[in-house]
Chain A
């Protein structure tokens, strides 16, 4: 009886393999930050449609180079390209999901969310201008807290990362001094502190060193229950890093008025907005060399906008606001075309 029962199973597997071979595979490469959610979406999408997504998380720099060299269907970058760079390579850019960056500290007796910082103070700490935890600036922000007279040990990312880009962008907006001395990029010339590799490296160095401060991705801080700080936002409110606070920052940003949707969600207005947030971006050619694959990629992202929100939230990413999604899809329909000039994506309405 055994061999007979395995037969249909084998037939199904074979049929599946044939179907998979016929399905279209989309290839993408780039940023590591959104890799977990792209992988999850791709898995769910394959189950529904049979079409797969092959995403290589080789880093934003690699993603940009690959899409410029036209070796992938789409590239992914945590740092949005400037409008001029997009035009030069005939690329379009759109955001997919958002995440946030959270300062974390290691101070005896200070619980998660107990310490309050603002952008100017954070910049001074990372500039090496504030060197001890009992500095008047910190005392003023935390009138009730007992702050030790310990030196501040600064930890930053050593590897180039979108997290650093968002964090330094915030510091640049909050402090003219930071802007002129350091600036913002995926890696910068740090005036002080030690560099650690990855979120896990930063978290671990902070955990090991008394009086340390670092910054990590929101998802990483939340999943590992790190001692995060609150921040004072543009409206002067002290806010905690939550999905709602990121969504508030996104809702108040001027997406449609910025070419290439290259909005940086740092220091956004709004009572509830968390000040260090950012989106991750996809790059695709205006006239893709392989229109079929590009059209499939757009279908995938459209599906992800419509059905991927819950999966994103489960991984502590923040979905885009509705209005932004509509504008992105309209942009696709208007600008991405095959060689004959036919749009590769039909807007839903």
Chain B
């Protein structure tokens, strides 16, 4: 450190306040580090606590049914026979339907907003989509039950049944009767619910693509589609996958809206128009009145399974991204 002593003052006199200031800053920084680390560790502690509680709570059920719990279809509170495959199936099917619809639509909206939208419309559409994310799920559930399900019962479901009826294979996938509620309805509601996550995150990462890349592509004579497909999407893929995973996480765990429209039947049906159930819907429906250790424990074990499914999905997404990065040499 180069010290410039002012005339008439010793070196010490200059250094002392400076050292004090530095010390103070170091203290402040240290405190900041401790606080942030504590906040991060809190998350780990809470997560560990949740896992421990879930595992401990589900032990009686897992001990009683073993692997049979994962593959059993029976869910009989009277004889205390519990198997989780129907809710697992329902969870995966409804989330699958939701992602099948929400990912393409969400990406198209994001592309429109970031590239093609007239500036006047950008803000209103963007705000509208963010508002969708702010609607409580119980509202989606009630709307689904009172408005959306009767609408589907009259329109989409009879149309699907007649359209796919003659086609072998697909006919059982869309077999009637049209109840209005069912796994398809739950999947559609979930699609609306996860759309904002996928759209707003994708739009943000699309907007972050350097303009110079896009302009270069346009300069080469690329169409808008080509720019989106070959420049913007590859550049933004990490963010897009991230947004999709966030949406999938929400779809897997969504409870209230699904409970209202899925029909809550512990059965695996080949038809997506049939009633089914999901893990979180089952827990929400039955936990309050569940009497008996095995029953309660089976519901907690369902929670553990959902936890594991969510973890696997996130891990798979990470792995996918990693492979993508490596292949593209990024």
Residues of A bordering B, CB below 8 Å: 32, 58-62, 64, 77-79, 151, 153, 158-162, 182-190, 193-197, 201, 204-205, 208-209
Distance A189 CA – B73 CA, assembled complex (angstroms): 11
Asked whether A60 lies within 8 Å of B74 as measured between CB atoms, the reply is no
Within 8 A of A (CB), among B158-202: 177, 179-182
Asked whether A161 lies within 8 Å of B265 as measured between CB atoms, the reply is no
Across the interface, which residues of A come within 8 angstroms of B260, CB to CB?
197, 201
B38 to chain A, nearest CB (A): 31
A-B contacts, 6 of them at CB < 8 A, read A183-B76, A189-B81, A195-B277, A197-B264, A201-B145, A201-B260
Residue of B nearest to A195 (CB): B264
Across the interface, which residues of A come within 8 angstroms of B270, CB to CB?
none
Asked whether B289 lies within 8 Å of A197 as measured between CB atoms, the reply is no
Asked whether B153 lies within 8 Å of A188 as measured between CB atoms, the reply is no
Asked whether A208 lies within 8 Å of B153 as measured between CB atoms, the reply is yes
Please choose the segment from B60-68, B217-225, B280-288 that sits at the chain A interface, where 4 or more of its residues have CB less than 8 A away: B280-288
Query: Known contacts A194-B265, A201-B260; can you find 5 more A-B pairs with CB under 8 A?
Result: A159-B289, A189-B75, A194-B182, A196-B263, A209-B153
B290 interface residue, CB < 8 Å from A? yes
Across the interface, which residues of A come within 8 angstroms of B281, CB to CB?
158
A47 to chain B, nearest CB (A): 30
Asked whether B289 lies within 8 Å of A153 as measured between CB atoms, the reply is no
Asked whether A189 lies within 8 Å of B77 as measured between CB atoms, the reply is yes
With A189-B78, A195-B285, A197-B259 known to touch, is A208 a contact of B291 (CB < 8 Å)? no
Asked whether B146 lies within 8 Å of A160 as measured between CB atoms, the reply is no
With A62-B288, A194-B181 known to touch, is A186 a contact of B149 (CB < 8 Å)? no
Asked whether B177 lies within 8 Å of A151 as measured between CB atoms, the reply is yes
Asked whether B146 lies within 8 Å of A204 as measured between CB atoms, the reply is yes
Size of chain B's interface in residues, with CB distance under 8 A? 35
Residue of A nearest to B180 (CB): A208
Residue of B nearest to A212 (CB): B179
Asked whether B291 lies within 8 Å of A186 as measured between CB atoms, the reply is yes
Distance A191 CA – B212 CA, assembled complex (angstroms): 63
Across the interface, which residues of B come within 8 angstroms of A162, CB to CB?
289
Choose one: B74, B79, B146, B177; the contact of A153 (CB below 8 Å): B177
8 nearest A-B pairs in the assembled complex, by CB-CB distance = A59-B288, A160-B289, A195-B264, A158-B264, A183-B78, A189-B76, A194-B263, A186-B289
B296 interface residue, CB < 8 Å from A? yes
B275 interface residue, CB < 8 Å from A? yes
Asked whether A208 lies within 8 Å of B77 as measured between CB atoms, the reply is no
Distance A26 CA – B281 CA, assembled complex (angstroms): 33
Across the interface, which residues of A come within 8 angstroms of B259, CB to CB?
158, 197
Across the interface, which residues of B come within 8 angstroms of A64, CB to CB?
291
Choose one: B177, B286, B296; the contact of A187 (CB below 8 Å): B286
B266 interface residue, CB < 8 Å from A? yes
Across the interface, which residues of B come within 8 angstroms of A193, CB to CB?
265, 275
Across the interface, which residues of B come within 8 angstroms of A197, CB to CB?
259-260, 264, 285
B234 interface residue, CB < 8 Å from A? no
Distance A250 CA – B145 CA, assembled complex (angstroms): 37
With A183-B78, A204-B145, A208-B153 known to touch, is A194 a contact of B179 (CB < 8 Å)? yes
Distance A196 CA – B259 CA, assembled complex (angstroms): 8
Choose one: A159, A184, A209; the contact of B286 (CB below 8 Å): A159
Within 8 A of A (CB), among B257-311: 259-260, 263-266, 275, 277, 281, 284-291, 296
Across the interface, which residues of A come within 8 angstroms of B182, CB to CB?
194
Across the interface, which residues of B come within 8 angstroms of A183, CB to CB?
76, 78-79
Asked whether B290 lies within 8 Å of A160 as measured between CB atoms, the reply is yes
Choose one: A153, A185, A204; the contact of B77 (CB below 8 Å): A185
Choose one: A61, A184, A189; the contact of B291 (CB below 8 Å): A61
With A195-B275, A197-B260 known to touch, is A186 a contact of B181 (CB < 8 Å)? no
Across the interface, which residues of A come within 8 angstroms of B291, CB to CB?
60-61, 64, 77, 79, 186
Asked whether B180 lies within 8 Å of A160 as measured between CB atoms, the reply is no
Across the interface, which residues of B come within 8 angstroms of A201, CB to CB?
145, 260
Choose one: B78, B146, B264, B296; the contact of A188 (CB below 8 Å): B78
Across the interface, which residues of A come within 8 angstroms of B287, CB to CB?
59, 61, 160
